[in-house]
Structure 1
Amino acid sequence: MNVPITLTTAATPTSSALTLRPWCVEDVTALVEAHQDRDFGRWTVSPIDSEDDGLRWVRAQERGWAAGDRFGFAVLEAGFDAVPPRLVGNVVLKEVASGKPSAQVGYWTAARARGRGVASRALETLTAWSFDAFGADGLECLELLHQVDNVASCRVAEKSGYRLDRIMPSAPPVYPLDGHLHMRRG
């Protein structure tokens, strides 16, 4: 499959354009910094507390790209004042396979970028790319799962056209609470 390396979103009146590109080793320091936010402990299953943790995580993203079953994108934003792009989030397409009708998406946003539409714009870009890249291989539906108490993720899902399908029972330790399963068809 010929996968484009970089995806972009347009700027809005209140936010710069976003660039989505595969994760790389140069992102490790910014990744560790983003994970210092206390909310990450509530919503993520892979804590990143050190440069070694960050490097392992980035290497796992690279292996997903090489295997063709997980496509993680660093979400970067260039400031209005032309500062170099900075890491503001992550979006991922996972569990994708030829002939499989569904796959999953996920995302997170760095604390400094929350509340500005970064997650929804990045998710919408990933969604369009996913259906374009994998629709001919049978992808028909994308699934998005978040814990029921993650109200912000629910808003991002709904804003991005992912409709609530059902409530999933908890599955500790990875999912300690019930979850909302949202779906979007291509």
Structure 2
Amino acid sequence: MLVLRPPQSSDADALVAACQDPEIPRWTNVPSPYTRDHALTFIHRDDPRVKAFLGFEGDQLVGSFSLLEIDLDAHYGEVGYWVAKEARGRGIATQAVEQLKATALELGITRLELLAHKDNAGSRGVARKSGFHDTGELRPAPRVDPPTPPDYVVYAWSAE
């Protein structure tokens, strides 16, 4: 059973180990090489707009999942995630995104976007399985400077 909870200092080593997988920085904004300092910065981030969770099955870290409040007045947010190599292909991301949707609704967010690289078939499948639809829009990678080419497919979900 997948359990999402906020990250803790004791998770740093598991985060560092998982983020050594080159597929994670390939598709996300996770730095490479990923260090303990990166993990601690992530764990202790103080941004009230970001609801960060780590996913566990038992005591095994299976992924990182976040809900970003983009515009509360517009009831709009964004989800992001990565799944540890050993846990891929088991529906972990889809389960987590469903939980993030429920959290979003609790916060008054009724519209979510999920951006997946056009070549990331796994994440594009998660978006579809989680009830997001392809908007037909391409954007640069979110929150990256300098901007990347518009290679990210925008998926949207609405509770309305």
Instruction: Determine which structure has more spread, i.e. the larger CA radius of gyration.
Output: 1
In structure 2, C-alpha distance between the alignment counterparts of 1:100 and 1:117, rounded to whole Å:
30
Amino acid at match of 1:157: A
SS at structure 1 position matched to 2:44: helix
CA RMSD in angstroms comes to 1.7
1:74 matched to 2:74: no
Give the one of 123, 129, 133 matched to 1:159. 129
Give ranges in structure 2 of 5+ residues lacking alignment: none
1:44 matched to 2:44: no
Amino acid at match of 1:37: D
SS at structure 2 position matched to 1:104: strand
Q: CA deviation at 1:98?
A: 3.5
Give ranges in structure 1 of 5+ residues lacking alignment: 1-16, 79-84
1:53 matched to 2:43: no
1:144 paired residue number: 114
Contact 1:140/1:185 (<8 A) preserved: yes
1:26 matched to 2:6: no
Q: CA deviation at 1:86?
A: 1.1
Structure holding more strand per residue: 2
| 1:91/1:174 CA distance change after superposition, 3 Å | farther
Q: CA deviation at 1:176?
A: 4.1
SS at structure 1 position matched to 2:107: helix
Give the one of 118, 125, 140 matched to 2:99. 125
SS at structure 2 position matched to 1:95: strand
The count of corresponding residues between Structure 1 and Structure 2 is 155
Q: CA deviation at 1:170?
A: 3.5
- Percent identity among equivalent residues? 36
Q: CA deviation at 1:116?
A: 0.5
TM-score normalised over the length of structure 2: 0.89
